[in-house]
Amino acid sequence: MKIIRWGIIGCGKVTEVKSGPGFQKANHSKLVAVMRRNKNLAADYARRHDIAKFYSNSQELIHDPEVDAVYIATPPHKHHDYVLEVAKAGKPVYVEKPMALNYQQCQEMVYACEQAKVPLFVAYYRRALPRFLKIKSLLDSAAIGKIQAVNIIFTRPFNHTPETPLPWRVIPEISGGGFFMDLACHTLDYLDFMLGPIESASGYTSNIGNQYPAEDTVSASFSFASGIQGTGLWSFNCFQRQDQTEIIGDRGKLLFSSFGMEAIRLITDTGLQEFSIDHPEHVQQPLIQTIVDQLNGIGNCPSNGNTAVRTALVMEQILQR
């Protein structure tokens, strides 16, 4: 099989452990080039990760004949344009989540890749993590019977000192929204993966803390095409962290965390079962492997432009934009 040679645009924090090394460690995969606007930082990253080439110009990386596929790991406001450029160059593209600033941009990205006949993948890597595959297998095997409803609650404090700049994730023109846009998309996407598409959604937003421009509190209700109903509450200005997704069936329920490593809890009439499953060292590596396999014609990646654009639409419906 062919070695897929990767280039990264935007080698920031997410690429240090979560994703970057995964391109080196996945089978039939190699990271050969990185790009960052600051050439010294690009050179430092390449040196530390043993990568042959580094650039400060995205076009040079995109058109490097030794780069077969491109991973875009910039903040979301750059995703749309970079995806279109990579598609125009005729290369497969893997883009970070959230996919773009809004649903329209996501649609344009999918269309551009379809027209260029190149695959588009999106970094909803929970679709390939053992922990979430276990949850899906429990649901598929009817461990809780026929699924009825989903409840989500996620809260955490906002720890920020006024003397330091705001994180880009709460600046809407860069991130597309606030922490809801950055984090809730993971939860809503894996629910699409486990339970099928969400058919409709609505929500309310507010900025109770007034510590940054984006919303800090979001509540939502949503309905799956299957008839399953769901609710969610996200608050990013609370005194403590809480992270629980509850999937309720007619013979039991599952409780688990979107971001923590607490044991998965299966509760039925027969009692409680717990499943402790750790993440791999590089959490994106399992999804990267599915991408490499698909590019080599031996499988399919579960997270692509068409699945991710559904999550983008649900997010937009909840945020009422």
**Residue 106: per-residue pLDDT:** 98
Q: Are residues 116 and 204 in the same domain?
A: no
Asked, for residue 260, whether it belongs to a domain, the answer is yes
Tens of pLDDT, residues 213-267: 999 999 999 999 999 999 999 999 999 999 999 999 999 999 999 999 999 999 9
**Residue 160: per-residue pLDDT:** 83
Q: Are residues 291 and 269 in the same domain?
A: no
Q: Are residues 173 and 70 in the same domain?
A: no
**Residue 74: per-residue pLDDT:** 98
Query: Residue 274 is part of a domain; what is its CATH number?
Result: 3.30.360.10
**Residue 159: per-residue pLDDT:** 87
- What do you get for the CA distance between the two ends of the chain, in Å? 45
Q: Are residues 160 and 121 in the same domain?
A: no
The ranges of the chain with pLDDT < 70 are: none
pTM of the shown model:
0.96
Domain extent, residue 150, equals 130-278
Q: Are residues 64 and 121 in the same domain?
A: yes
**Residue 321: per-residue pLDDT:** 84
Asked, for residue 168, whether it belongs to a domain, the answer is yes
Number of domains in the chain: 2
